[in-house]
Amino acid sequence: MAMEFATPYRSRSRIPPEPGRPYFVEKGMGDRAHLFGDLITIYAGGEQTERTFNLFTCEGPKGDTIPAHSHSETYEAFCVTAGAVRLFVEGAAGEQYEKLLGAGDFGFVPKNCPHVYRIERHHSQIVGVAAGPGGTSVHLVVRLRREAIQRHREVPEHFCSSRPAVRCRPFVASRILIADCNR
């Protein structure tokens, strides 16, 4: 799957390329890209925040999991503002977590923890923050696509609910950094 930018980078996004300038982003603007069937919109990227954090939204229809990945120096926070999103995380000691997040629910992924999400209801939206001492970049999405798609993994069987409506395919992620998006 190729990544397709929904708006040309910076030309119409209303995000200034240089740091240190106040700015405002209207609905429908921002750096936007289609990735794995979802629309990712970045409102504040590494260039604007001196590489300290990214603020983004992810919107999409009910679908498949994104490729499993981790971030060696980035913490990621997810707040579901509409719909439902299932978050799968493998902790530092190999423990497995799975949580269905609804509107108003929050999930946190520490650095170095492989994780996956799957949008469970049409018209779902996530507001996310990616931050860490190693810096972040507006190209986080590009790196995810470039590095993780080559190592595409599905949700582990043991991550799956016993409900038949939840589709899963076998995969073992234990202690494997599937894709390091900070590289």
Q: What are the pLDDT digits (tens) for 50-87?
A: 888 999 999 999 998 888 988 888 999 999 999 999 99
109 touches 76 (CB < 8 A): yes
Q: What is the mean pLDDT of residues 162-174?
A: 35
Residue whose pair of structure tokens reads 């590494």 in the numeric block: 46
Give the lowest-confidence range in 37-46, 124-133, 142-151. 142-151
pLDDT at position 75? 94
DSSP code for 81? E
Q: Percentage of the chain surpassing pLDDT 90? A: 41
The residues, ordered by sequence, that sit 6+ positions from 32 with a Cβ below 8 Å of its Cβ are 5, 6, 7, 13, 39, 40, 41, 42
pLDDT the model gives residue 36: 83
pLDDT at 50: 84
What pLDDT band is residue 170 in, cutting at 50, 70 and 90? very low
How far are the Cα atoms of 10, 53, 58, 141, 166 from residue 47, in angstroms, in the given order? 11, 9, 20, 14, 39
29 vs 135: CA distance, rounded Å: 24
DSSP state of 114: -
What is the pLDDT averaged over residues 33-47? 88
pTM of the model: 0.71
Structure tokens at 81: 């503002």
Assess whether pLDDT exceeds 70 at residue 120: yes
Radius of gyration of the chain (CA): 16
